[in-house]
Amino acid sequence: MKFLLLPILAAAAVVAEQYTTLVLDANPNNFFDHFDFRTDEPTSGHVQYQTRPDAEKMGLIQQRPDQGYVYMGVDHWARAPDGRPSVRVESKMLFTHGLFLLDVDHMPYGCGVWPAFWTYGLTSPWPELGEIDIIENVHNARNNSQTIHVSPGDCSCQFVPAAHDQMTGWTKTPYCTLQKSAQYLMTFDPREESYGRPGWKGGVYAMEWTDKRVRTWFFPRDDVPCDVNQGTPNPETWGTPVLSVDTQCGMNKMKDHTVVINTTFCGMWAGKKEIWEQESGCGHLADTCEDYVTDNPEAFGEAYWKIRSVKVWKK
């Protein structure tokens, strides 16, 4: 009898993890109606974020339902001594837990660029309610990085990622790293196809956030699961995630997250002297990241998002 029962229980567990309620469906017909446009810059980037009317007027955003995507770009035709015009959108709806999916065909890349798709707690000072970075890196990076931030002092710095056979990513910070204002765990996807670059075909990024764990996946365009395409996403069938972390320490305080997509330049990460001069491979182009972004508008023609949808599912 036990040999019959175990497969049944396993199948029941898989079904139980399915997500059935679509609570956010930002698509080419209505995409920007789901988002607020933020115009301040919290990461000291060399950027000028635009309001929705100004972004539309400048051609930085476009909804193209006839072609199945939305466009979010940056100014790539004028000098920008006060910061390059760009867009940062944050979802009007706030979320605590869920399955977050970004279906994207193109993302910003190149020297000076710092693109991101992420969530954070909007209603309290950062990072009290946490932050989850799903896509993020700088300059000519080849691999996607994913990071979880919580407040320092919430615990004794005990982020514990899953065993290596339970996640494919490698952690730059094996447990966590303390900053003045936050502690964080950073993970890198070992696949170069995980981050946008010339010839990239895109795909689907997924982040599952429950009261027990945070997990992430990236599916290249040719490997997107059928259940995602059919609108019945079931993470239990997706295989080993890139990142898997049990919810503990400050993570149990994470709530009320907005979904963010933005493109900034230089700033606290990409603008660091040692990163610009040594790690990026861009240092020969200009003395500083800011100088390069200011004086080379034509270099940012590829600094755009081409997005099919952003979806958030609940169980």
Catalogue the active-site residues: 131, 136
Helices (H), 17-122: 52-58
> Which residue in 132, 137, 134, 185 sits closest to 161, CA to CA?
185
3-state secondary structure of 264: strand
Question: Parallel, antiparallel, or unpaired for β 35-37 and 213-220?
Answer: unpaired
The three-class DSSP label of residue 63 is strand
Residue type, 53: P
Assess contact for 295 and 79: CB atoms under 8 A. yes
CA dihedral 169, 206, 279, 185 (to 10 degrees): -60
Give, as one character, the DSSP assignment of residue 300. Answer: G
Degrees (nearest 5) of the Cα angle 69, 114, 28? 10
What is the 3-class SS of 172-228, one letter each residue?
Answer: CCCCCEECCCCEEEEEECCCHHHCCCCCCCCEEEEEEECCCEEEEEEEEHHHCCHHH
Q: Is there a cis peptide before residue 241, judged by omega within 30 degrees of 0?
A: no
Closest to 311 (Cα-Cα) out of 188, 179, 205: 205
Residue indicated by tokens 């019959």 = 4
Q: Is 55 exposed, middle or buried (0-12, 13-18, 19+ CB in 10 A)?
A: buried
d(CA 303, CA 69): 16
6 close to 13: Cβ distance less than 8 angstroms: no
